[in-house]
Amino acid sequence: MDQMPEVIKQFSHVEYLTVFNAILFGYVGAEYFSGWASMLRNRNSVKHYWQHILWTIFAFTLYIQNWYGVWPRTTVINENVYYFLFSLTPILVFHFISVILFPDFSKEESFDVKKYYYGNLRWLYGLFAGYFILTIINSFVYPDMGDVLVQNLIRLGAVALCVTAIIFEKKKYIHLIFLIIGYIALFLFLRALPS
């Protein structure tokens, strides 16, 4: 067989590939819900930290926005296997972010999330920077929707913030400022998407 059939029994190849993407998206989304559930289940032994909780919400909202933005790319992932494989990379990055944000809270009798959070900031910001770089690349590889220039400027600003946060990781007030900027940028980014 020289060419892959477009449709087999009314099931297109794009739908077939999209189902796999959706399963992976669902699995990673479940990691966030599972992490929050673990935080609640172990609330007596976990000393929570409000910035950590806000970063988990930020990461999940960004993840949902990513799912929303994938729609125009679904036809392109069928063109060749490399488009399809590249479409999986943001999902993988969000999986790693969920692993960093949600450790196994049940391992210890007393878990200090604040200490854990500040001990893993380099990884968290590095993964966020990697994700934003990927989204800039994605905007050139796949068709994108909305004002792509504004979106890429926001993404580039996010990369700069992440690198700055890694450089100044010891200054705790900077992380609060970046959290606020992150939420504002996410809100602006969501507004730049077509509804």
Where do the domains of the chain lie?
A: 7-192
Look at residue 44 in the predicted model and tell me its pLDDT: 86
What does the pLDDT read at residue 2?
60
Q: What is the pLDDT of residue 30?
A: 96
Query: Residue 77's pLDDT is what?
Result: 81
pLDDT at position 120, please? Answer: 92
Which pLDDT does position 78 carry in this prediction?
80
Q: What is the mean pLDDT of each run of 10 residues along the chain (195 residues)?
A: 66 82 94 94 88 94 86 78 88 96 80 90 94 90 75 89 89 86 84 69
| Distance separating alpha carbons of residues 184 and 145, to the nearest angstrom | 20
Q: What is the pLDDT of residue 89?
A: 92
Q: Is the pTM for the entire model greater than 0.75?
A: yes
CA–CA gap between residue 97 and residue 163 (Å, rounded): 16
Question: What per-residue confidence (pLDDT) applies to 139?
Answer: 84
Distance (Å) of CA 105 to CA 11, 73, 96, 100, 142:
43, 37, 17, 12, 39
